[in-house]
Amino acid sequence: MNERDLLITAAKAADDKRAEDIIVLNMKGISLVADYFLICHGNSDKQVQAIAREMKDKAQEQGYEVERLEGFDEAKWVLVDLGDVVAHIFHRDERSYYNLERLWGDAPTEDLHSELSQ
């Protein structure tokens, strides 16, 4: 599998747990950390944790290593590091505060609507 497949796996996992406002930033040539940032949010601590757990489980089922999982217990901003894809799962209130979309505003967005609807 390639990084695009990993991205779709992570996005579908988030969508399956009803993550809201899923946005993917293409970080190639912008950041050395990852090729893609997936940003989404949940409406409660439990939902944020469910999204992160589903993403971790689905990635591992596909043979990907979860390099890091941070912030899970607090469930305000969970970072799931999958290597080429880094997912930022926010609690709704925290997302608007940190506003990563604005911080990385020069990164183009990826449209995954067709992949998520399959």
Please report whether residue 10 resides in a domain: yes
The pLDDT tens digits of the residues spanning 75-100 come to: 999 999 999 999 999 999 899 999 88
Read off the pLDDT of each residue in 2-10 and give the average, rounded to a whole number: 90
Q: Which has the closest alpha carbon to 27: 105, 94, 115?
A: 105
Only one residue has tokens 């796996």, namely 9
Q: Which residue range(s) make up the domain with 88?
A: 3-113
Do the beta carbons of residue 11 and residue 112 sit within 8 Å? yes
pLDDT on residue 118: 64
Q: Is residue 113 over pLDDT 80?
A: no
Please report whether residue 85 resides in a domain: yes
Please report whether residue 76 resides in a domain: yes
Read off the CATH number of the domain in which 59 is found. 3.30.460.10
pTM assigned to the model: 0.92
Band the pLDDT of 44: cuts 50, 70, 90.
very high
* Chain-centre distance for alpha carbon 88: 5
Q: Is residue 103 over pLDDT 90?
A: no
Overall domain count for the chain: 1
Please report whether residue 70 resides in a domain: yes
Please report whether residue 118 resides in a domain: no
The CA-based angle 114-39-17, given to 5 degrees, is 65
Q: Is residue 4 over pLDDT 80?
A: yes
